[in-house]
Structure 1
Amino acid sequence: MPVLHLAVLLREWGEYDVANPKEEQCIQRFRLDREAIIYLCRLLEEQLSGRSNHPLALPVILKMTTALSVLASGSFQRVAGDALHISQASVSRCLTQFVDAMLAHTRQFVKMPETPAERRRIKLGFHRVAGFPNIVGAIDCTHISIRTPSVNENVYRDRKRWHSINVQVLCDHDTRILSICAKFPGSAHDAFILRNSSLCQIMTELADGDTWLIGDRGYPLLPWLMTPFHNPTTDSQERYNHAHAVTRSAIERTFGILKSRFRCLDDSGGCMLIHPDKACRVTVVCCMGMLRLHLPTAATSSTICDQIALFWRESAFNAAAPNKRLWCVFTHCTRTSSSSSEKCGFLVRPEFAIIAFMFHSQMCHYILELEQYLGQ
């Protein structure tokens, strides 16, 4: 039944072609493919169905996709409700129920590597980037803008004088989120969040001299946390800082992909118009949604689209100097077009393609220049 309900739902959105259904319709609207949505429907059916036997009660698929559309677009709840002919209050309830249901399965989606084999796989992945050994995760914090709280307003002001929550994220080399801590206001320092998170205790117990995290200068140097030199004076320190920066770029890519996929977290469209506590819960659920590629039925090709779109947005390509070499900040590259990029909800100019080759030379992968391929 979830397949039939999803087809009807997409038809209500005005994007469903019965004769030729397209997978990208689900990904554009909900940031999840069809099989992942059905998987989550079955996983959350008990929590979302509730005990109501009312004939007008919203079905599980409608509750979940309504919440996903709000998270993916970052638009007002009333806009999402008008598209499905439901009220703004119903959209708010759908979002709350979906978030609470997903949080009950947090450990299923976001968890640290538990076995030596898993840690070895992550260490090998980081080592292939720039030769940095024994790294099991890249850590950093990002600010999620929120509206001005009515209580303790000054606590939520960050260094840029905006109101936000400061979210700590740990990821591996493939941008898989391993740990998240979203419960501190914007005024909290990154090091303070780390000291008061469960990750600090986990790494302290796990530290064996060959298992490290990698972080920026905002963190202190710890037996299990590698930070860069503040003022490098020798060539070896310069090489260390360079390898450190290239390896740590995984967390920056993760933040870029996360905020591009779930626009409610990006401040380009404004702040989150919800209570800070609910904003923290929504942020955790969005991080869980980052793992759609690791669901049993999810496709892996969308990772490439995410990485290409992120590279295109952040590379600041200068058309007047096409021979400029750029550092490769992702591990997979392929030709892209507007159709493949739209599957992930990104806008990439179709007249350019990224042609990249990876070289295991010294500490970095190089990327060849972007070249124009239409008409060539």
Structure 2
Amino acid sequence: MPQESQKNKIIASLCENHALALLGVESSDEEDEAIESFLISMSCLLNNRRSVHFGLPKCSSWQRNVLRNLDESRFNQMLRVRPEECERILELIKNDAVFKTSSSASQLPIELQLKIVLYRLGSSGDGQSVRKVASLFGVGDGGTIKNVTQRIFKAILRLKNEFLYWPNERERLEIVSATGKEMPGCVGYIDGSEIKLAEAPVMQHEIYYSRKRQYSVKLQAICDYKLRIRQVTIGFPGSVHDAKIFSNCSLAKHPERFLSTSQWVAGDSAYPLKPYLITPFRQNSVEHRKEERDLFNAYFSKYRVRIENCFGLLKEKFGSLKELKFRMLSTSNKKECNDWIMVCCILHNMLISFDIDNENSNEVLMPQFPLSSENNMRNCLLRYIQNQNI
């Protein structure tokens, strides 16, 4: 009796899916194909004593007839990129070796694979569900989505050095020149952000529980004034303090490789004050007068907030980062989580680079305000701010 009850449920579900499939057909050939598929499935089910899993009913009409004809605004809402941006990303990855396999099984079109991954990256909540994505795009919900995601990730990760890199000496001078009237010598802005996990990690879950009372992994980034990410550190557990993450990054270990004399990055009070890392005055500071400290902090935060804007833009564009539907099971599994975040960062920079006009100039201007080196950088900046407010 229990088996018969379960079979009746499957029959009812099969009939319902068939009815929905018929609603989406647009030609007599598609209708005949849907009916034939339904009859075969029903025949197999009725002639087997035990229930049979038929997989997810597939219908590609949405992505074939609807997605391709969406206007720019609706296309952007679905895939989080404009149609022309999607085309440019496709051009960058289409010749990658990952799409040229010797396997006899043919892959989905690269354009479709890219759209599936963009939809997953841009979706929050249940929108990331494998079954929902498979149903929407008309592909299998077994290993298809996983394989497609891995291929696109590999292709995009190979472009990391092209789109996510630390500026060389000339580019740093250009950045300093462009922002010279704001905070002279500032190359970038640093901060950490939590990527919330929907589930607790299986191993050592307690170290991933952050002060915000959620399981998360940390993303530390340095961005420039155009909100491009120039350096990232990904994967530290949510309980790790920003200062400790910074002490383990390459900039902290070898600042001379990343910054020239009088160049620095701006951070919040969670970071240690260094000659190359300027932070605001803390509440318990006894340096200078309170009015001077308040003036400095207010002016400083007006520009340091760019890294907050960068994180906001990143998570708004790729909604999956608001709560990652990812369960950490092992070390290799953790790498997949880190790759997901890194791919979002690379795409973030790609989209910004598409919008940046060719503004390269042969002339590199030097900062107009002379900055001292070593330990007086913050005091020097304070004097500059005071002069600006006279």
* Same fold, TM-score > 0.5, yes or no: yes
C-alpha contact (below 8 Å) 1:264/1:272 kept by paired residues: no
C-alpha contact (below 8 Å) 2:193/2:220 kept by paired residues: yes
Q: What value does the CA root-mean-square deviation take over the aligned residues?
A: 2.6
| 1:250 corresponds to 2:306 | yes
Residue 100 to residue 214, structure 1, CA distance change in 2 (3 Å): same
1:174 to partner: Cα distance: 1.3
Correspondence 1:127-166 to 2 at 5 A: 127-128=180-181, 131-146=182-197, 147-166=199-218
Task: In structure 1, give the amino acid aligned to 2:93.
Answer: L
- 1:121 aligned residue: 174
- 1:49 aligned residue: 99
Correspondence 1:31-70 to 2 at 5 A: 31-45=80-94, 46-54=96-104, 56-70=106-120
| TM-score, with length taken from structure 2 | 0.67
Residue 9 to residue 30, structure 1, CA distance change in 2 (3 Å): farther
1:362 to partner: Cα distance: 5.1
Q: Report which stretch shifted further, 93-102 or 137-146.
A: 93-102
| 1:286 corresponds to 2:340 | no
C-alpha contact (below 8 Å) 1:41/1:64 kept by paired residues: yes
Task: In structure 2, give the amino acid aligned to 1:103.
Answer: L
C-alpha contact (below 8 Å) 1:168/1:181 kept by paired residues: yes
The share of aligned pairs that are identical, in percent, is 26
1:161 to partner: Cα distance: 2.9
Correspondence 1:5-24 to 2 at 5 A: 11-12=63-64, 14-17=66-69, 22-24=71-73
| 1:90 corresponds to 2:144 | yes
Q: Report which stretch shifted further, 31-40 or 180-189.
A: 31-40
C-alpha contact (below 8 Å) 2:229/2:345 kept by paired residues: yes
Q: Structure 2: which 5+ runs fail to align?
A: 1-59, 358-386
Correspondence 1:167-186 to 2 at 5 A: 167-186=219-238
Structure holding more helix per residue: 2
Task: In structure 2, give the amino acid aligned to 1:79.
Answer: K
C-alpha contact (below 8 Å) 1:179/1:199 kept by paired residues: no
Q: Report which stretch shifted further, 33-42 or 159-168.
A: 33-42
C-alpha contact (below 8 Å) 2:169/2:260 kept by paired residues: no
C-alpha contact (below 8 Å) 2:163/2:346 kept by paired residues: yes
Residue 300 to residue 123, structure 1, CA distance change in 2 (3 Å): closer
1-side partners of 2:158 and 2:104: how far apart?
A: 25
Residue 82 to residue 151, structure 1, CA distance change in 2 (3 Å): same
Task: In structure 2, give the amino acid aligned to 1:98.
Answer: I
317, 320, 329: which one aligns with 1:261: 317
Task: In structure 1, give the amino acid aligned to 2:262.
Answer: D
Q: Structure 1: which 5+ runs fail to align?
A: 1-7, 302-360, 364-376
1-side partners of 2:62 and 2:309: how far apart?
A: 31
Deviations 1:295-335 (A, max 9, x none): 4xx3469xxxxxxxxxxxxxxxxxxxxxxxxxxxxxxxxxx
- Matched residue of 1:213: which SS? strand
Task: In structure 1, give the amino acid aligned to 2:147.
Answer: R
2-side partners of 1:44 and 1:282: how far apart?
A: 17
| TM-score, with length taken from structure 1 | 0.69
Deviations 1:47-84 (A, max 9, x none): 34131454642121121111111001132122111111
- 2:360 aligned residue: none
2-side partners of 1:277 and 1:164: how far apart?
A: 14
1-side partners of 2:301 and 2:130: how far apart?
A: 39
1:206 to partner: Cα distance: 3.8
2-side partners of 1:61 and 1:54: how far apart?
A: 20
1:182 to partner: Cα distance: 0.6
Larger Rg: 2
